């Protein structure tokens, strides 16, 4: 790297490289990774509420389908909303807002006694989780130099695995506890309520922790806040080196043509400073959002917008539907094997027999969740550790594109195989492989998204693809709730097809991780 930047101003790549790599980046990885782990908990928390709260809410399988769909509907609407704000107001402020709202509503929902109101609360949780999930990768990636970015982003997969492991541990530690049920008139607060409240606390803690971190310097440069961006880079330099921030070698940043929108180019006022309470500023803010949305729907970004949306739809529909329903399926297998020991049956047969034979206790008020359900869900999470550790070590050698294609295709094969399992052990093994492969693909897709789109469109592009994916998750959970008791071969075939099609679509993606962020 030459010394021209000392006189003419440095571009972002030179500026972020000059900060070094150290304490700040490790702390940032920790907080963003834990946020990602928290989204894994928030998305799949309903999987343990389904069997635990069936009696209190008097839920049928169709009701369970609606309950699992409620957060997905929130994600469909929340992805674009938060993405739009993040590409105009900033990443950090939106991340903090989503986490604090999610935590507060999560705790409040634990006190709700009416199923429809509980669904509304889970809708709001999904609405906020979508914002955090769509933002965390761009926010982390925009603090990284090119040589570190892809590997650092791939380390996020281990945090997702951490969330998948922690959820059954928290559930196992709280839901089986007896003697903590509180009843007063028509109000009851059982162990599963305590579990829901406990899962809301991490969002609050992470939201407050994020106040200690700065806004993305890449975003600040994009909207023209060069002084703030330089101060942010000096702060990172101090955190990494322990040196005086005034010794940061770069004194000025290279200004570029403002790409946020025509409105921003013609105004000296940063879009970050727009007030949402002033009609004139609000109008400008919506103008910014509309211009960015149109940019994603025109060349050269249209192709990748369509591909990433289709990929998210196929992958997310399969992943979130099956992962949320796995504990319920494990529960049904345990019940079947207790009634019919040493008898083999497929997943579809087990579901049909359990429902038909269970008419005396349709709302499961006389039984508790078998401990093997927690153990099996925990094993599914632990099975992701090898692939989570393997990914950042080999992503440069094999390439994100190759790993995406491989994991999606193999996940499709595993989904087809679910129809042929005859025991709960076989079901568990396939569930482990499915979770490991699909969670790997989801993290990789976020990594690819960071490189495919420029800073001013990055979060909104992720938001649009997430909207498509959560729409698929919504449809998948609703249909699975009905079909699991009627004809479960249909969703298995559909989900497998989605994964195979997604693998084929990955061939259209370019190689990523080799160039500086636009």
Tell me if 265 is assigned to some domain: no
140, 153 in Cβ contact below 8 A?
Answer: yes
Which of 392, 431, 389 minimizes the C-alpha distance to 411?
A: 431
Which of 82, 79, 124 minimizes the C-alpha distance to 106?
A: 124
Helix (H) or strand (E) holding 184: strand 182-184
52, 175 in Cβ contact below 8 A?
Answer: yes
Taken in order 501, 397, 431, 373, is the CA torsion positive or negative?
negative
User: Considering the entire predicted model, what is its pTM?
Assistant: 0.82
Rg of the chain (C-alpha set): 24
Instruction: Note whether 12 and 147 are same-domain residues.
Output: yes
What would the two tokens of residue 142 be? 């925009």
The whole-number pLDDT of residue 503 equals 94
| Cis before 300 (ω within 30) | yes
Cβ within 8 Å of residue 446, ≥6 positions away:
137, 153, 156, 462
225 backbone φψ class: left, alpha, beta (φ>0; ψ -120 to 50): beta
484, 194 in Cβ contact below 8 A?
Answer: no
Separation of alpha carbons 385 and 67, rounded Å: 29
Within 13 Å and on the Cβ side, how many CA atoms surround 182?
8
Alpha helix ranges (H) inside 245-370: 262-265, 279-296, 302-339, 347-357
Instruction: Note whether 123 and 237 are same-domain residues.
Output: yes
Taken in order 263, 264, 266, 270, is the CA torsion positive or negative?
positive
Instruction: Note whether 211 and 131 are same-domain residues.
Output: yes
What would the two tokens of residue 40 be? 């894994």
Which of 197, 236, 181, 254 minimizes the C-alpha distance to 23?
A: 236
Separation of alpha carbons 128 and 132, rounded Å: 7
Tell me if 287 is assigned to some domain: no
Tell me if 280 is assigned to some domain: no
The whole-number pLDDT of residue 300 equals 85
- pLDDT tens sequence across 48-69: 887 788 888 888 777 887 887 7
How many structural domains are present in the chain? 2
Within 13 Å and on the Cβ side, how many CA atoms surround 427?
28
139, 99 in Cβ contact below 8 A?
Answer: no
Instruction: Note whether 138 and 187 are same-domain residues.
Output: yes
Tell me if 279 is assigned to some domain: no
Choosing from 236, 255, 274, the residue where a domain stops is 255
Low-confidence stretches of the chain (pLDDT < 70) are 1-8, 256-278, 280-282, 285, 324, 327-328, 351-367, 481-482, 484-486, 513-518
Instruction: Note whether 427 and 326 are same-domain residues.
Output: yes
Q: Which domain holds residue 378?
A: 296-355+364-517
The whole-number pLDDT of residue 33 equals 96
Instruction: Note whether 347 and 489 are same-domain residues.
Output: yes
What is the average pLDDT score of the chain? 83
Classified as helix, coil or strand, 396 is helix
461, 449 in Cβ contact below 8 A?
Answer: yes
Separation of alpha carbons 71 and 73, rounded Å: 5
Choosing from 193, 224, 255, the residue where a domain stops is 255
Tell me if 288 is assigned to some domain: no
Separation of alpha carbons 466 and 98, rounded Å: 16
Separation of alpha carbons 80 and 87, rounded Å: 11
Cβ within 8 Å of residue 498, ≥6 positions away:
313, 314, 315, 317, 318, 472
According to DSSP, residue 260 is labeled S
Instruction: Note whether 243 and 310 are same-domain residues.
Output: no
Choosing from 198, 226, 255, the residue where a domain stops is 255
Instruction: Note whether 126 and 235 are same-domain residues.
Output: yes
Classified as helix, coil or strand, 409 is helix
Tell me if 264 is assigned to some domain: no
Instruction: Note whether 328 and 387 are same-domain residues.
Output: yes
Instruction: Note whether 83 and 176 are same-domain residues.
Output: yes
Which of 296, 298, 316 minimizes the C-alpha distance to 76?
A: 316
Q: Between the CA of residue 249 and those of 26, 73, 260, what are the distances in Å?
A: 22, 48, 28
The whole-number pLDDT of residue 239 equals 94
Separation of alpha carbons 353 and 376, rounded Å: 21
Count Cβ atoms within 10 A of the Cβ of residue 115 and give its class: 0-12 exposed, 13-18 middle, 19 or more buried.
middle
- 282-285: long-range contacts at Cβ-Cβ below 8 A with a sequence spacing of 24 or more? 285/88, 285/89
Tell me if 144 is assigned to some domain: yes
Separation of alpha carbons 465 and 457, rounded Å: 12
Q: Which residues share a beta bridge with 183?
A: 188
Question: Token pair 């632990």 is at which residue?
Answer: 382
Cβ within 8 Å of residue 309, ≥6 positions away:
464, 465, 467, 468, 469
Q: At what angle do helices 302-339 and 424-452 cross, to 10 degrees?
A: 160
Instruction: Note whether 188 and 317 are same-domain residues.
Output: no
Instruction: Note whether 251 and 301 are same-domain residues.
Output: no
Classified as helix, coil or strand, 474 is helix
Separation of alpha carbons 277 and 387, rounded Å: 47
The whole-number pLDDT of residue 79 equals 83
> Phi/psi at 244 (nearest 5 deg)?
-65, 130
**Which CATH number does the domain housing residue 318 bear?**
1.20.1250.20
Separation of alpha carbons 324 and 435, rounded Å: 11
Tell me if 482 is assigned to some domain: yes
The whole-number pLDDT of residue 384 equals 87
């Amino acid at each position: 790297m030459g010394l021209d930047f000392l006189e003419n101003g440095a571009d972002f790549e030179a500026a972020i490289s000059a900060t070094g790599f150290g304490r700040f980046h490790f702390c940032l990885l920790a907080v963003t990774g834990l946020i990602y782990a928290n989204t894994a908990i928030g998305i799949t928390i309903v999987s343990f509420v389904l069997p635990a709260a069936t009696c209190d809410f008097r839920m049928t399988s169709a009701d369970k389908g609606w309950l699992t769909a409620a957060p997905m509907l929130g994600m469909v609407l929340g992805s674009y909303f938060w993405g739009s704000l993040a590409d105009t107001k900033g990443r950090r402020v939106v991340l903090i807002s989503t986490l604090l709202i999610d935590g507060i509503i999560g705790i409040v929902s634990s006190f709700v006694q009416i199923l429809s109101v509980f669904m509304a609360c889970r809708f709001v949780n999904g609405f906020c989780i979508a914002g955090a999930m769509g933002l965390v990768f761009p926010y982390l990636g925009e603090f990284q130099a090119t040589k570190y970015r892809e590997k650092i982003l791939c380390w996020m997969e281990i945090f997702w695995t951490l969330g998948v492991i922690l959820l059954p541990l928290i559930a196992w530690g709280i839901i089986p506890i007896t003697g903590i049920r509180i009843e007063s008139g028509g109000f009851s607060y059982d162990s599963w309520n305590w579990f829901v409240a406990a899962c809301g606390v991490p969002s609050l803690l992470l939201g407050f922790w994020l106040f200690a971190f700065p806004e993305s310097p890449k975003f600040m440069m994009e909207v023209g806040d060069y002084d703030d961006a330089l101060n942010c880079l000096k702060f990172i330099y101090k955190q990494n080196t322990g040196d005086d921030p005034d010794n940061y070698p770069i004194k000025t940043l290279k200004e570029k043509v403002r790409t946020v929108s025509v409105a921003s180019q013609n105004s000296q006022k940063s879009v970050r400073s727009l007030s949402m309470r002033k009609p004139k500023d609000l109008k400008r803010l919506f103008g910014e959002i509309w211009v960015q949305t149109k940019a994603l729907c025109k060349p050269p970004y249209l192709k990748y917008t369509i591909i990433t949306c289709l990929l998210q739809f196929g992958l997310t529909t399969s992943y979130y539907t099956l992962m949320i329903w796995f504990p319920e399926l494990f529960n049904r297998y345990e019940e079947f094997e207790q009634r019919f020991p040493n008898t083999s049956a497929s997943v579809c047969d087990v579901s049909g027999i359990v429902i038909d034979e269970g008419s005396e206790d349709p709302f499961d008020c006389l039984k508790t969740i078998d401990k093997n359900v927690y153990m099996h869900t925990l094993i599914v999470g632990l099975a992701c550790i090898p692939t989570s550790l393997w990914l950042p070590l080999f992503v440069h050698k094999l390439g994100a594109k190759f790993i995406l294609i491989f994991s999606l295709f193999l996940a499709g094969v595993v989904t087809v195989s679910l129809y042929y399992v005859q025991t709960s052990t076989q079901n568990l093994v396939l569930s482990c492989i499915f979770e490991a492969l699909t969670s790997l693909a989801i993290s990789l897709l976020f990594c690819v998204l960071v490189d495919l789109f420029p800073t001013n469109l990055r979060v909104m592009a992720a938001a649009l693809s997430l909207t498509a994916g959560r729409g698929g998750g919504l449809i998948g959970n609703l249909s699975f709730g009905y079909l699991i008791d009627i004809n479960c071969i249909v969703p298995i075939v559909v989900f497998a097809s989605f994964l195979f099609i997604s693998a084929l679509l990955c061939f259209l993606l370019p190689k990523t991780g080799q160039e500086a962020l636009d």
